[in-house]
Amino acid sequence: MSEETSPSLQKDVLDELGDDKLQEIAGVLGTDAAGARQVVGTTVSELSGGVQEEAAAAPPEEAPLQGVVTLGGLGGVAGGGLLAGMLAKVSKPVAQAVAKKTGLPAPAVTRVIELLIPVVLTVLTKRRAKK
């Protein structure tokens, strides 16, 4: 299992979310904190898999990423960045996949993904800064 899809990424995203954001997600989903944690874990896993597929499908000159955590420096994320664009591009298919796996309505899952993308970018940026 790679770093990008490991449970530690899910844990880092949950830690970064904090209790307030997790409660917000639970409210969007109409569930409790435990249910929200489960959906966040599934969503993070699907997002990271979707980004890896996008990176693999792009021609080499358009895909400078060597993995989901390679951000081309912090400026890449701050300026929108390739990773942010990839996350946005895969968000709809990810929402459909998570909705299918969880039985939740796709619009609610889409809203959760909108809340999670900046958090995932923050976690990945922090990881990259440590390297």
Residue 84 and residue 99 in contact, taking contact as beta carbons nearer than 8 Å: no
**Residue pointed to by tokens 């490991």:** 6
Amino acid symbol at 53: E
Is residue 112 packed enough to be buried (19+ CB in 10 Å), middle (13-18) or exposed (0-12)?
Answer: buried
pTM above 0.85, yes or no: no
- pLDDT value of position 67: 44
Token pair, residue 62, equals: 């358009």
Residue 39 and residue 31 in contact, taking contact as beta carbons nearer than 8 Å: yes
Question: How confident is the model over 36-63, as a mean pLDDT?
Answer: 79
38-47, 60-69, 105-114, 116-125: range with lowest mean pLDDT: 60-69
Domain count within the chain = 1
Q: CA-to-CA distance for 125 and 70, rounded, in angstroms?
A: 9
- Degrees, nearest 5: CA angle 116-43-47: 80
Domain assignment of residue 70, given as a range: 3-130
